[in-house]
Structure 1
Amino acid sequence: MTVLTIFRDIKSFVNKDGYDFERPDVTLQNFHPQLEIFFAIKGIFFNNHRSMKRFIWPALSAFMASAATGFELMFIWRAMTIKDYAMATESFVYLMILGSVYLVYYGVLSNRTTILTLLGKMSEDFRCICNLASYRKRFIDGQLLIWRLTMSWGIFVTVVAILYVLNTLLLLLYQYLFATLDEHYVRPLMFPVWLPHDDPYRTPNYEMIMIFQVALILVAMASFGLYVPLSLHLFMHYYKLLDMIMIAIDELFVGLDWSVVTLHVTDQRRVDVKTELRKRMGRIVRWHQSVFDSVEAITSIYGAMLVYQVMFSSVIICLLAYQIAIQMSEGKFNYLFVILFFGAVLQLWIPCCIGTLLQTKALALGERCFYSGWYDTPLSQLVRQDLLIFIMRTQVPVVIKFIGIPELELHTFSSIMSTAYSYFNMLRQYN
């Protein structure tokens, strides 16, 4: 199988080329099968909710993260003692990544009922919207975009993990094939290691540490690596639901006979039109309220992790940039740290960008409703009060906010990046 074939298969997978978008039974489960898989890894089972087996991987991950946290604290202390600031900053970055493991699992496992309810609402959205001809295509296009974004992040995280392992194995292979005894090479590890009163690079220490580090990469992928696409998916679903509300507003008076306004209030034709109008308006209001409730629910699930991101992203980004700068000043270029730096910036930008998109789109609903053509049709008399209440409701913004953090938007991202740059300059001056 050639590299070109692999890329073609990945592209086909990301674009869902094998999926029948016209099938009548499009559901959340068959369009986004990754959701149940990802949540199962996090300890949420959908077929057997109370199975104790769901705690196996979270417990194992927490245990390994705790052990690794203890080691990283020891490495930081050792690095500061010998004034090896490159090792200290690298170990601190990994310590911050390990801290996210506990928060991600805590948020998911402590909100199991909320997650199941939320996914039930999303499944209901699929069943309802896919049966509405005028909404279906735009909704499916939006879901395809969500699939592409989440799979792209998954591919990115997988590539980073593979590069960490592959880079170490290639260095090890080079030493076995080409290095001579007088070159005094030390067998490479993925992360810096130090042991008191022992050599971590001797057998069997080296082999055990290597296996442990590979396992830690899997833990990081299954926790923080899945947290980003899951939160992205959930927030983007309701961003796309706002698009459906836009369509519903545009079609509020479409296909209805405006002449019934002149009829008596008890006339059946007028009653039927008014009932249809109320049905359409009710759908708009239900979807709009669902966005508020669901965004609040998602924020409660990942609130602790969002606080952690906002508090420590500036430090992590600063230290990664500092590590890259130190190595470049020594004539080295660590591409893994450059990729990790890009990932650190991206994981912060994603929720901030979605927060801005949600807020902008939600506020635009009021303007769309005002210019929906109600002034051109007498039918507006039948729902005038409903329109007025809805427009007033749209003035309340949809925001991603949790206790202890500001509203997540692009301004928040800009502020954190500015803080990271200030920390970076301070470290460089101290150095």
Structure 2
Amino acid sequence: MPLLQSFRNFFMKNDFDFDAPVITLYGFHPQFRIFFAAMGIFFNNRESILRFVWPVICIKLAIVAVTLEGIFVYHGLEVKDYTFATECFCYFVLLGILPVVYVPIMLNKQSILQLADDMNNDFIYISSLGPKYRESFFKGHLVIYKLCYAWLAFTLIIAVMYITSTMFPLLWLCLFATQDENMIRPLMFPMWLPKDDPYRTPNYEIFMTIQLIFCFLYIQTFCVYVYLEFHILLHYYNLMELLIMDFGVIFEGLDESVVYLPSSDPRRVEVQNALNKRMGRIIEWHLSIFKAIETVSSVYGPPLCYQVMFTALALCLMGYQIADKLDHGKVDLIFCMLFVGALIQLWIPCYLGTMIRNKGFAVGDACWNCGWHETSLSRMLRNDILILIYRSQKPVVIKFTGLPHIQLETFSSIVSSAYSYFNMLRQYNAEM
């Protein structure tokens, strides 16, 4: 029970001081810098050559894995073993995204570091604001913190299922199987060699070790990439919530009568400065949101393009594997979990894209409904209000060359395409 309570305190951040005078991004989310360091972004020694070591190793291993899976796919089609071919092509698609994740992140190092510094400055600044702002902002980031570990736990469960589904049969084979049972030692992923047996010693031990490495590599790369993506997007979603709150109090506590005083009157100047300061913070936050989404688009655009292009194929092939096993009276639990994971990894950016787009339009609505028509003070901010309403009509969306706007409509379209491919593949297999 103490262990369970410790885990609960860690997950809920019960021991964190939410009333501290200064809270930083890295203090609230210690995992943020650790995960970026694994992607080749160092926050302390930023120019260290060591930051390239792990990404280069991962990229080279991923290229080797994709090449091997491509050979397996060709062999499966050549011998008309379509179950083997589709499973290998599924892994070909999944592993192919790893270089696409690493390369843009390393090429956009300065943009990422600037984005992280801006997010950290947001934390420090909001720490100095009133309880209403602090509670809203840190409550939102507590959700991000929980989602991080929930997502990592889900992906780890899939990895553990892959490992245990191989290790348990191997353990049984080593302990209880007799020599005349003629059983083959299992691997996590199917293998084939042109003039050799991948299941004989020492081939089996080598390939098993390599597959365990790739299982860890995929979790460390792709799943961390998804987390960092939704962390950044949700940070700016929370910032838009504060921006909307600012509109609700923009005219609060100010004397309307100063509007009729000369522009040089000290009372009018004081009110004008207060209004300019409040609107200036709104405009600064609004511009930072557009800048951040532009950075996310440039950094994560290539892997998002890959996801949009190939997720339909991956879902189709996973569905085919599940249906093929069901036809033989078996339930492929691992591929069922993998299918759910593939849906979630696409749904996350699409759902967040829709949330941010709608919240961006909500900023314009909040500006329109801020009570400008009920107070004469609006005359002192007329141009600023008009410009911000006009700017808020521009959708806050992730956009990249060749990439549709990432939103729920995109998710629906990809799932529909996957279902169409699945039906075509099943029909073709039935005719064969």
Per the shorter chain, which TM-score range? over 0.9
* Equivalent position of 1:79 in the other structure: 76
Q: How far does residue 379 in structure 1 lie from its aligned partner after superposition?
A: 1.4
Q: How far does residue 332 in structure 1 lie from its aligned partner after superposition?
A: 1.0
Q: What whole-Å deviation, never above 9, does each CA across 1:85-115 have from its counterpart, x for those lacking one?
A: 1111111111111111111110100000000
* Equivalent position of 1:127 in the other structure: 124
What SS class does the counterpart of residue 306 from structure 1 fall into? Answer: helix
Q: What whole-Å deviation, never above 9, does each CA across 1:115-143 have from its counterpart, x for those lacking one?
A: 01111111111111121113111000111
Q: How far does residue 156 in structure 1 lie from its aligned partner after superposition?
A: 1.2
What SS class does the counterpart of residue 302 from structure 1 fall into? Answer: helix
Q: Is 1:362–2:378 an aligned residue pair? A: no
Q: Which amino acid aligns with 2:356?
A: L
* Equivalent position of 2:211 in the other structure: 213
Q: Which amino acid aligns with 1:102?
A: P
- Write the distance in 2 (CA, Å) between the matches of 1:132 and 1:254: 16
Q: Is 1:345–2:356 an aligned residue pair? A: no
- Write the distance in 2 (CA, Å) between the matches of 1:312 and 1:212: 25
The structure 1 residue matched to 2:37, chosen from 35, 40, 47, is 40
* Equivalent position of 1:139 in the other structure: 137
* Equivalent position of 1:249 in the other structure: 247
The structure 2 residue matched to 1:52, chosen from 41, 49, 53, is 49
- Write the distance in 2 (CA, Å) between the matches of 1:28 and 1:43: 19
TM-score, normalised to structure 2, is: 0.96
Q: Do 2:316 and 2:419's aligned partners in 1 also have CA atoms closer than 8 Å?
A: yes
Q: Which amino acid aligns with 1:47?
A: N
Q: Is 1:15–2:46 an aligned residue pair? A: no
Q: Which amino acid aligns with 1:169?
A: M
* Equivalent position of 1:176 in the other structure: 174
Q: Do 1:42 and 1:222's aligned partners in 2 also have CA atoms closer than 8 Å?
A: no
Q: Is 1:410–2:408 an aligned residue pair? A: yes
Q: How far does residue 279 in structure 1 lie from its aligned partner after superposition?
A: 0.6
Comparing 323-332 and 63-72, the one that deviates more: 63-72
Q: Which residues in structure 2 correspond to 1:315-354 (within 5 Å)?
A: 315-354=313-352
What SS class does the counterpart of residue 399 from structure 2 fall into? Answer: coil
- Write the distance in 1 (CA, Å) between the matches of 2:263 and 2:59: 66
Q: How far does residue 6 in structure 1 lie from its aligned partner after superposition?
A: 6.1
Q: C-alpha root-mean-square deviation of aligned residues, in Å?
A: 1.4
Q: Do 2:97 and 2:303's aligned partners in 1 also have CA atoms closer than 8 Å?
A: yes
Q: Do 1:130 and 1:139's aligned partners in 2 also have CA atoms closer than 8 Å?
A: no
- Write the distance in 2 (CA, Å) between the matches of 1:167 and 1:25: 47
The structure 2 residue matched to 1:374, chosen from 368, 372, 385, is 372
Comparing 41-50 and 366-375, the one that deviates more: 366-375
Q: How far does residue 257 in structure 1 lie from its aligned partner after superposition?
A: 2.1
Q: How far does residue 183 in structure 1 lie from its aligned partner after superposition?
A: 2.2
Q: Do 2:301 and 2:403's aligned partners in 1 also have CA atoms closer than 8 Å?
A: no
* Runs of 4+ in structure 1 over 6 Å off: none
Comparing 57-66 and 105-114, the one that deviates more: 57-66
Q: Which amino acid aligns with 1:376?
A: E
Q: Which amino acid aligns with 1:156?
A: F
Q: Do 1:39 and 1:45's aligned partners in 2 also have CA atoms closer than 8 Å?
A: yes
Q: Which residues in structure 2 correspond to 1:78-157 (within 5 Å)?
A: 78-133=75-130, 134-157=132-155
Q: Do 1:264 and 1:270's aligned partners in 2 also have CA atoms closer than 8 Å?
A: yes
Q: How far does residue 178 in structure 1 lie from its aligned partner after superposition?
A: 2.8
The structure 2 residue matched to 1:64, chosen from 52, 55, 61, is 61
Q: How far does residue 404 in structure 1 lie from its aligned partner after superposition?
A: 0.3
User: Per the alignment, do residues 117 and 288 of structure 1 end up closer, same or farther by CA in structure 2, a change over 3 Å counting?
Assistant: same
Q: Which amino acid aligns with 2:138?
A: I
What SS class does the counterpart of residue 376 from structure 2 fall into? Answer: coil
Comparing 106-115 and 369-378, the one that deviates more: 369-378
- Write the distance in 2 (CA, Å) between the matches of 1:328 and 1:189: 21
Q: How far does residue 8 in structure 1 lie from its aligned partner after superposition?
A: 5.1
What SS class does the counterpart of residue 56 from structure 2 fall into? Answer: helix
- Write the distance in 2 (CA, Å) between the matches of 1:422 and 1:138: 43
Comparing 204-213 and 262-271, the one that deviates more: 262-271
Q: Which amino acid aligns with 1:325?
A: A
Q: How far does residue 7 in structure 1 lie from its aligned partner after superposition?
A: 5.7
Q: Which amino acid aligns with 2:41?
A: I
- Write the distance in 1 (CA, Å) between the matches of 2:167 and 2:4: 23
* Equivalent position of 1:423 in the other structure: 421
Q: Which residues in structure 2 correspond to 1:153-168 (within 5 Å)?
A: 153-168=151-166
Q: Is 1:314–2:312 an aligned residue pair? A: yes
Q: Do 1:14 and 1:152's aligned partners in 2 also have CA atoms closer than 8 Å?
A: no
Comparing 11-20 and 101-110, the one that deviates more: 11-20
TM-score, normalised to structure 1, is: 0.97
* Equivalent position of 2:230 in the other structure: 232
Q: What whole-Å deviation, never above 9, does each CA across 1:217-262 have from its counterpart, x for those lacking one?
A: 1211122121100111111111111111101111111122223223
- Write the distance in 2 (CA, Å) between the matches of 1:193 and 1:12: 44
What SS class does the counterpart of residue 145 from structure 1 fall into? Answer: helix
- Write the distance in 2 (CA, Å) between the matches of 1:8 and 1:415: 43
Q: How far does residue 11 in structure 1 lie from its aligned partner after superposition?
A: 3.9
Q: Do 1:172 and 1:188's aligned partners in 2 also have CA atoms closer than 8 Å?
A: yes
Q: Do 1:359 and 1:397's aligned partners in 2 also have CA atoms closer than 8 Å?
A: yes
- Write the distance in 1 (CA, Å) between the matches of 2:55 and 2:160: 22
Q: What whole-Å deviation, never above 9, does each CA across 1:142-184 have from its counterpart, x for those lacking one?
A: 1111111222111111221122112211111122233233322
- Write the distance in 2 (CA, Å) between the matches of 1:237 and 1:41: 21
Q: How far does residue 420 in structure 1 lie from its aligned partner after superposition?
A: 0.4
The size of the alignment, in residue pairs, is 428
Q: How far does residue 5 in structure 1 lie from its aligned partner after superposition?
A: 6.6
The answer for unaligned runs of 5 or more in structure 1 is none
